[in-house]
Each structure stands twice: as C-alpha cells, then as structure tokens.
C-alpha cells in the first residue's frame, strides 16, 4: 500500500503503523490493540524529532495549528503535527476514532473524562473527570472509543507546545462533539488541517 509521508524516520514509523492497523482490522477495527501495539514504536519516533520540518512547528497565534504529515491511502490512519499557542486549550471533546497523542516539546495538561448519563437526552451529556496528566516530552496517551475517548488538552507553558497526533482515520472528515461541563450541552464540530503530505 502506498503511503504518503514527509521524512525517512516517519516512513519507518508509518510502515510499522500500517502493518499494525492491517493486522488488527478484520471486519472490525480493534482500536485498543492498535493503540497498545503502536505505542512503543510511537515513543521511539518521539525520542528524536529532528525529522520534523520547522514549517510544521509553527503555532497559529491564539489558537492551534494542525499539519497532516502522513496518511494511509485508504484513510485508515493519519499522522498530524499539532502546535498549541501558550495557554490555548480545547473544550472536552471526543474523537470517534482510536488515537495516540505524544508530546515532544513543552508540556500539555490533559484531563480525561467519562460519560455518566445514559445518552437519552438529545444534545446533552453528563461528564465526570477521571484523571489528570501533565504530559511532557516523550509522554503518550491513547484514545479508544467509545468509552476511553473524552479529554481536553491545554498548553500550560509560556511557549508553544508541540505534539504528534495519530488517528484511525482523518478527523477532518468526522463529525465530532464538544461537551460543556457546566451546562451539559453538546456541540458538533469538525477539525481542520493544513495538508503537508
């Protein structure tokens, strides 16, 4: 399968990732197995980020910049460079796809949540915080829907932070949800990427 990437180090990783995804997709996708098997390879990729072109490390003032670095030709996975402006953070949100987030520059606060209501009320959810992590360079966290898929991230440093995000598809094509912790309101949204590959 042809894979579009931007560097040799990323090529090595994405070839391994592609093999792991194929081995764990047999009619259904085993996101938990993919996340578990891919994590040590992802940690190795993060250990030396000299391969990442500086143009994919530029923050968008006041917000977030997403650069798609690599993708499978069938969109079964994508690799994205995400750059966070100082103090920028997301609301609580889901992904609807398995994922891995690895910090390589700065520090990112991650709060994890679990949905505790039964989903019967339209556009409403009750979310309970279940964990907090201060993710530093080399730290990786996994996302596996439907239960282990809710978090928020914030750059808590005075400089831009950078992380690599891997997803079991292209998030810019997925209708996702953000959750207002105070009111329970659910808002639909889609991510936007700058395409680098």
The CB density around residue 158, as the number of other CB atoms within 10 Å, is 8
Tell me the per-residue pLDDT of 152-195, one tens digit each, with 9 for 90 and over. 999 999 999 999 999 999 888 788 999 999 999 999 988 877 66
Q: Could you tell me where the beta strands, DSSP code E, fall in the chain?
A: 3-4, 25-26, 28-29, 64-72, 78-84, 92-93, 99-105, 108-115, 127-135, 140-143, 150-155, 161-167, 176-179, 186-189, 194-195
The CB density around residue 126, as the number of other CB atoms within 10 Å, is 15
Tell me the per-residue pLDDT of 43-84, one tens digit each, with 9 for 90 and over. 999 999 999 999 999 999 999 999 999 999 999 999 999 999
The Cα diameter of the chain in Å comes to 48
Give the C-alpha separation, 171 to 188, whole Å. Answer: 13
| Token duo for residue 48 | 């030396």
CATH number of 146's domain: 2.60.120.10
**70, 130 Cβ separation under 8 angstroms:** no
| Number of compact structural domains in the chain | 1
Q: Which helix (H) or strand (E) holds 16?
A: helix 8-23
7: pLDDT confidence band, cut at 50, 70 and 90? confident
Instruction: Please compute Rg for the chain using Cα positions.
Output: 16
Report the half-sphere exposure of 139 (CA within 13 A, side-chain side): 14
% of the chain surpassing 90 pLDDT: 87
Residue-range definition of the domain harbouring residue 134: 3-195
């Amino acid at each position: 399968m042809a894979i579009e990437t931007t560097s040799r180090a990323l090529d090595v990783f994405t070839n391994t990732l592609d093999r792991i995804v194929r081995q764990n997709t047999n009619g259904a996708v085993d996101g938990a197995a993919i996340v578990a098997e891919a994590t040590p390879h992802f940690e190795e990729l993060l250990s030396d980020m000299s391969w990442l072109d500086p143009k994919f490390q530029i923050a968008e003032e006041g917000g977030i910049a997403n650069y798609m670095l690599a993708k499978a030709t069938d969109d079964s996975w994508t690799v994205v460079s995400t750059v966070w402006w100082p103090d920028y953070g997301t609301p609580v949100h889901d992904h609807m796809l398995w994922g891995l987030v690895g910090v390589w520059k700065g520090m990112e606060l991650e709060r994890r949540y679990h949905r505790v209501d039964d989903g019967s009320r339209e556009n409403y959810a009750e979310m309970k915080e279940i964990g907090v992590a201060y993710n530093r360079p080399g730290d990786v966290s996994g996302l596996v829907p439907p239960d282990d898929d809710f978090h928020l991230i914030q750059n808590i440093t005075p400089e831009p932070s950078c992380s690599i995000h891997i997803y079991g598809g292209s998030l810019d094509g997925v209708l996702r949800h953000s959750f207002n912790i105070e009111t329970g309101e659910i808002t639909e949204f889609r991510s936007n990427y700058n395409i680098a590959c």
